[in-house]
Amino acid sequence: MRITTRRRPSVPDPKPCEHCGRLLAPRTVEVEFGMQGTSEVFAGWEPCGCEGAVAARAEWEAGRERAEHAAEEARWERTLESSGIPPRYRGATHPWAARLAGRLSAGDGVYLHGPNGTGKTTLACAAALICMRNGMGVKFAVATKLLDGLREFGDGQRELLESLVRCDLLIVDDLGKEGAATPRAAEKLFDLFNDRYNAQTLADPKPILVTSNFPRGEVAARVSQGGSGLAIASRLKETTYAVPMDGEDWRKGGARER
Ligand SMILES: [Zn+2]
Q: How far is the CA of 108 from the centre of ligand 1 (A)?
A: 60
The pTM is what? 0.76
Predicted confidence (pLDDT) per residue in 178-188, tens digit? 655 788 888 88
Q: How far is the CA of 56 from the centre of ligand 1 (A)?
A: 10
- Confidence grade of residue 258 (pLDDT, cut at 50, 70, 90): very low
Q: How far is the CA of 47 from the centre of ligand 1 (A)?
A: 8
Q: How far is the CA of 42 from the centre of ligand 1 (A)?
A: 20
Q: Which of 197, 229, 210 is nearest to 170 (CA)?
A: 210
Q: Give the pLDDT of residue 82.
A: 94
Q: How far is the CA of 52 from the centre of ligand 1 (A)?
A: 6
DSSP characters over 1-64: -----PPPP--PPPEE-TTT--EE-EEEEEEE-GGG-EEEEEEEEPPP-SHHHHHHHHHHHHHH
Written as one letter, the residue type at 155 is: D
Predicted confidence (pLDDT) per residue in 8-44, tens digit? 557 899 999 999 999 999 999 988 877 778 888 899 9
Q: Give the pLDDT of residue 222.
A: 82
**Pairing, β 169-173 against β 138-142:** parallel
Percent of the chain with pLDDT over 70: 90
Rounded CA-CA distance 103/99 in Å is: 6
Task: Delimit the domains of the chain by residue range.
Answer: 48-83, 84-252
Q: Give the pLDDT of residue 179.
A: 58
CB-based burial label for 36 (10 Å; 0-12, 13-18, 19+): exposed
Percent of the chain with pLDDT over 90: 60
Radius of gyration of the chain (CA): 29
Q: How far is the CA of 63 from the centre of ligand 1 (A)?
A: 20
Where are any strands of DSSP class E within the chain? 15-16, 23-24, 26-32, 38-45, 109-113, 138-142, 169-173, 208-212, 240-244
**What is the average pLDDT across 50-64?**
97
Q: Give the pLDDT of residue 217.
A: 84
- Confidence grade of residue 249 (pLDDT, cut at 50, 70, 90): very low
115, pLDDT greater than 50? yes
198, pLDDT greater than 70? yes
CB-based burial label for 186 (10 Å; 0-12, 13-18, 19+): buried
Rounded CA-CA distance 197/131 in Å is: 20
Rounded to the nearest 10 degrees, the angle between the axes of helix 155-166 and helix 183-199 is 40
CATH superfamily of 84-252: P-loop containing nucleotide triphosphate hydrolases (3.40.50.300)
Q: Give the pLDDT of residue 180.
A: 55
248, pLDDT greater than 60? no
Planar angle of CA 222, 225, 226, nearest 5 degrees: 135
User: Which residues neighbour 37 within 8 Å (Cβ) at sequence distance 6 or greater?
Assistant: 6
Q: How far is the CA of 65 from the centre of ligand 1 (A)?
A: 23
165, pLDDT greater than 50? yes
Query: What rounded mean pLDDT belongs to the chain?
Result: 87
User: Which residues neighbour 116 within 8 Å (Cβ) at sequence distance 6 or greater?
Assistant: 213
47, pLDDT greater than 60? yes
Predicted confidence (pLDDT) per residue in 119-159, tens digit? 999 999 999 999 999 999 999 999 988 888 877 767 778 88
Q: How far is the CA of 18 from the centre of ligand 1 (A)?
A: 7
207, pLDDT greater than 90? yes
For residue 140, the tally of other CB atoms under 10 A from its CB is: 22
Phi, psi at residue 182, to the nearest 5°?
A: -65, 150
